[in-house]
Amino acid sequence: MAKNIQAVRGMHDVLPEQTQSWQRVEKVFQQVLASYGYQEIRLPIVEKTELFNRSIGEVTDIVEKEMYTFDDRNGDSLTLRPEGTAGCLRAGIEHGLLHNQIQRLWYYGPMFRHERPQKGRYRQFYQLGVETYGMAGPDIDAEIIILGHRLWTQLGIRDKLELQLNTLGSKEERQHYREKLVVYFSKHIALLDDDSRRRLQTNPLRILDSKNPEVQALVEQAPTLMDSLGDESLQHFKGLTHLLDELGIDYKINCRLVRGLDYYGYTVFEWVTNDLGAQGTVCAGGRYDSLVEQLGARSSSAIGFAMGMERLMALVEMLGEASTAKRSIDVYMICVGDKTQAVGMVLAETLRTYLPTLKLQVHCGGGSFKSQFKKADKSGADIALIIGDDEVANDEVGVKSLRKKQDQNIMAQKEVGMYLQKALNITSSEG
């Protein structure tokens, strides 16, 4: 026998038993985002490699080692998107959504990074992204934070997440801070790993983002950017914390928070949990005004966040609500006899038209009454409809509760719609 083909390492399937909770959570996204007036944008999964090189930064984990890059047949270098911010901004610029305009956008879909797979870290993973353009803040900064807060509240996981906040200041302030960092880390160069030593030359701020515990210990003692901020940056940051205070949102200021991408300035934040081990950041975002010009458009403001769906779902699943997930069907239709399949399928179509929310499965593949009834019972449905030769002859249908001890009923086919509507307490297309 041929060997089974398995999924690519780090790329996982979302199985039917999980999709119900995924869909429930996705619905919450849609409702909450709509309630703030955000609109969905759908973007390609593949972009020109140059887009990511130019935006994310050459000396970042993503661009250095995580991108799935390949040559198109005509030789163009393409990349599976490792994140959505760059593509969203590319689309915004390309379609004129930015110039002199305000946008509140969101997207949802798979991202690809060639990382070492482990719990909460995959090579294909889903992100919900929120991006806003044209607002200089800090009011919009507060809005996207409280929007996240509302998502966690609706999903019942607010207590599991802590908001960490920092500001990266202006480009000039970061430049000045960079010099301070170089002086500091150069003094302790013996304690730096190879990656960090290289970054000392190319992009010293990245050292603050190191996952190496020894480097992290050194980072703890490093000078902070907060200490060398000018008035404007401090005012922006104070404006944000003031709004969060007024809105009753708790936060912790974390001066080491720099984020793994180069395009951030001013506000950065992460929603972090202790419940997921090392992969504790569920949602992360920040302001990236300078990226707009960097991608060739007239200067504008931009701030957004991206949330990892797998990490979020791990938290949601801890609530143990999966077991109370709604059953997948309400009614199972059994058809035993020669002409019964056609009659049953026609009746099922009539019922689906009359009761748009009804979940009705028609048995396919024949078999005895006994074997079909067993399947009906196992399906989780509440009610079985039974079509046999007698029912076909008399335009009738058998109705049997699968959950209550009740005898089978026989009723006219044209009455069964109203019966199900009442029994299942659902609305009909006729209101």
Q: Which residues are at the interface with ligand ATP (CB under 6 A)?
A: 83, 113, 115, 120-122, 125, 127, 260, 279, 281-284, 306, 308, 310-311
Measured from the CB atom, is 124 or 241 closer to ligand ATP?
A: 124
Q: How far is the CB of 59 from ligand ATP (least distance, A)?
A: 14
Measured from the CB atom, is 138 or 308 closer to ligand ATP?
A: 308
Tell me the H-state helices in 258-368.
289-294, 309-318, 340-354
Measured from the CB atom, is 141 or 330 closer to ligand ATP?
A: 141
Measured from the CB atom, is 65 or 374 closer to ligand ATP?
A: 65
Q: How far is the CB of 228 from ligand ATP (least distance, A)?
A: 24
Q: How far is the CB of 123 from ligand ATP (least distance, A)?
A: 7
Q: How far is the CB of 85 from ligand ATP (least distance, A)?
A: 9
Measured from the CB atom, is 129 or 344 closer to ligand ATP?
A: 129
Q: How far is the CB of 160 from ligand ATP (least distance, A)?
A: 13
Buried b (16+ CB within 10 A) or exposed e, 181-217: beebbeeeeeebeebbeebbeebbbbbbbbeeeebee
The residue with its CB nearest to ligand ATP is 308
Closest C-alpha to 126, from 338, 292, 395, 313: 313
For the purposes of burial, counting CB atoms within 10 Å of the CB of 65, is it exposed (0-12), middle (13-18) or buried (19 or more)? exposed
Buried b (16+ CB within 10 A) or exposed e, 95-129: eebbeeeebbbbbbeebbbbbeeeebbbbbbbbbb
Specify the amino acid at residue 383.
I
In three-state secondary structure terms, 66 is helix
Give me the phi and psi of 428, to 5 degrees please.
Answer: -95, 165
From CA 261, how far away is CA 250, in angstroms rounded?
25
Q: How far is the CB of 151 from ligand ATP (least distance, A)?
A: 13
DSSP 158: G
Q: How far is the CB of 288 from ligand ATP (least distance, A)?
A: 12
Measured from the CB atom, is 286 or 344 closer to ligand ATP?
A: 286
Strand pairing partners for 332?
361, 384
Measured from the CB atom, is 131 or 391 closer to ligand ATP?
A: 131
From CA 304, how far away is CA 285, in angstroms rounded?
6
